[in-house]
Each structure stands twice: as structure tokens, then as C-alpha cells.
Structure 1
């Protein structure tokens, strides 16, 4: 017959100290590790103050969120770009060992997703949306589709993949985006920005954790 053991008393204890009591050994050790990490990141890998603008774009970045928003004007058009933090990377390719070593030395080729929206104010119903991929040195368009603000479609038709469109159509779309500041230079800037934001958010998270354990 199976025997059931009584749970260890340790498992029923809270990791946090009772308010007003001295910190437990566990708390003190965790605080020491957190402070060492915060000190290292602050002294040796400090984040830079994030810029408020890039060219014609203003940047909206709320602490604790994993995305930012860029806004710009192009004539009578409003350009809005929603940008995620790093959300993927290209895996190391199947290649001879020497090429794999070089790829590892270069580091991962990280990916950022963009949703670009071009509109002409509330008076116009139509909006053009483009889904893009930002790489460290280039920007790729994945798909584009028109939307109507006043018509809610459960499963809108997104059209064909951008890469399957005719070459001249692709060229015109890329020129359209470049005129509005959505180009390879923006992709490069966003990778630098998100690398810095990753440091900012990590330090913020560590300090919140430190403050919580100290209470």
C-alpha cells in the first residue's frame, strides 16, 4: 500500500519574512544577488537615456511595456508605427563548422515586428496597414492591406504575400514607405533602441523585485 508522507514544514513556510522581523537568510542572500546584478548592469552595461525622436518620428515608450509607438506626419497623412521588442531570431544555418562558428561569433540575427498604419485623419475612412519585419540592417514588407474604420470585418482578406507580388508593385510599395521614413535606417535605429530598452526594462524589473523583497 502506498504511504503518504507528511509535507516538510519548510515547504509550508513563506519565502518572505514576517513584517517587522529581521530578513531571513534566504531574503538576504537573494537581495545580495539582486544588488550585485543591479550594480553590474548600472556600472558596466548602463542603458542610455532613450531618445524622444528619430528624424520626423516622435517616440512613445511607456515603462514596463514590450512595444513602442512612433508617430509622424507626411503631408496630410498620419503615419503610425507600432513596434515590438525582439520577438524572434534567425537560427544558425546548417553549414560547415567554420561558417557556424562565424555565425555564432556574430551573434543572433534578431527580429522585430512592425505594424505600419497610414491614414488621412478621422474624416477619411480608409487606412492602409503594412506588416513589416525589421532586421539589424534592413526592413522587409510581409503583407499590406486596406482597412475601413467604420466596417468591422471578422476575418478580413489580407491579400497575397508581399513577396509574391509583381516586382514593380513591390518596388512602388517600398518607395512609398521610404518617402514616409519607414526604411532600412529606421530598422537599424529600432534595433539599437530595443537593445537599450531591454537593458532599461531589465534594470527596472530587478529594482522592483529588490523593493518587494525588502518590504
Structure 2
């Protein structure tokens, strides 16, 4: 019985030898590609791991760093103002909003231009006052102001579901100046730039390291990719 089965299988292979050859060739190529990719991922991981972190910078007082913010997408800094206001700040780079939006001729502009989402909330109020600002090493400008539903995590991915208010530039100069004074009085100014810039470097470095490692683990089916 077993001889008949073996003979039938052997005969099938002799009539269609390319099936075995193609399968073996495909497996070998796939294994070689995976090995090459894993080596490249590991090399890049090790290279990035040797990069020196930026000089440690503390946020300007009285802002404090939100715990776990490096691993999340919510607020980075928070503070209390007066007896009733809570202020939180989220940050991201222009390149993260519009990939390639800053041209090659812009030099360091894309690095030195940060976007802040500033939420001012009060207890008992369902909505918070939300400012979208552009932050530079020597200046801060307001792009828009809106009222948004208060959330436990005022991350910058939360979108408003109601009227956003007028375009900031359409407001008269006196009101624009008053709104700038309003947030400056609450510590929202260019003094935040050194800390937020350094914080973003650390976050980007962590994300890149995590990306190399997670892709390597996925490619390596037995999840034994080791980086040391």
C-alpha cells in the first residue's frame, strides 16, 4: 500500500518537476530577502541608538510635563492659572501635519516651526477655549481660536464639531492684540520653544527606535529578532 502511494507521489513529481523547483526557489528568495531586511533594520537600529540625546531642557515654570506624554499623542505640558483655569499644551511639527510641505529651500524652517494646541478649561464648563498657534524660537502667532468640547485628553487629533469662529486675521487689530495678551499672560510664548523642540527630538528618536524594532519583530516570524 505505502509503495503504491510513494510511487504515485514520485510519478506526479516527475511529470511536474517545476512545482518543487519553483516552491524551493521562492522559499530561498523570500528567506534571503527577509535576512537582508532584518540585517538592514538592525544596522539602522544600532546606528540610531548611538545618537546623543539633546541637552536636557526643563519647561518654563509653572508648566509641568504630563506623565507618559512621550509615549502618547495628547498634551505635553499643563499648568493651573488662577483658581479656576487649567491649561494644557500639545505640540507637533509642520512636517508631521503636511509631509513635504516645507520645501527644500526652507532650510531649518520646518524644524523651527512648531504648532501648539492650547486648551484653556474651567470647572463646570462643558467647552474649553482652544488656540491653534505657530511657535518659533523668537515669536508666537495665533492661527485660530475656537470653542471645543472638553475632553479627558485634549490631544491635537480631536476635531471640532461646531462653528469654529471667524478667521483670526479677519478680526480687528485691537481684538487680535487682546487675544495675544490673553495667552501670553498664561505663559504661552516663545519661552516654550527650547523645551518643546528638545522634547520632540526625544519623542522622534523613541518612535524611530520602536519602529525599527517592531518591523524587525514582524518580519522575523518566530519573533526572536534581537537588538543588542
TM above 0.5: yes
Q: What is the number of equivalent residue pairs in this alignment?
A: 186
> Matched residues in 2 for 1:115 and 1:46: separation?
29
1:177 CA drift (Å): 0.9
Distance in structure 2 (CA, Å) of the matches to 1:33 and 1:148: 46
Q: CA deviation at 1:69?
A: 3.0
Q: For 1:134 and 1:206, locate their aligned partners in 2 and report how far apart those are by CA, in whole Å.
A: 30
Structure 2 counterpart SS, 1:128: strand
Say if 2:79 is the partner of 1:72.
yes
Whether the 8 Å contact between 2:58 and 2:195 is mirrored in structure 1 is no
Q: Distance in 1 between matches of 2:136 and 2:97?
A: 11
- RMSD of aligned C-alpha atoms? 3.5
Distance verdict in 2 for CA 1:48–1:148, change over 3 Å: closer
Answer 1 or 2: which has greater helix percent: 2
How high is the TM-score relative to the length of structure 2? 0.64
**Cα distance, 1:205–1:148 mapped onto 2, change above 3 Å:** closer
Equivalence for 1:114: 116
Is structure 2 residue 169 aligned with structure 1 residue 159?
Answer: no
1:144 corresponding residue in structure 2: 145
Q: Secondary structure at the match of 1:131?
A: strand
Aligned-partner Cα distance in 2 for 1:124–1:34: 49
Say which structure, 1 or 2, has more relative contact order (CA 8 Å, 6+ apart). 2
State the 1:63 CA deviation: 5.3
Larger Rg: 2
Counterpart for residue 170 of structure 1: 176
8 Å contact kept, 1:68–1:84: no
Matching residue within 207, 210, 214 for 2:213: 207
SS of residue in 1 equivalent to 2:76: strand
2:40 equivalent in structure 1: 33
Match of residue 83, structure 1, among 80, 91, 101: 91
Deviations 1:14-35 (A, max 9, x none): 998xxxxxxx433332222122
Q: Which runs of 5+ in 1 are unaligned?
A: 1-5, 17-23, 93-99
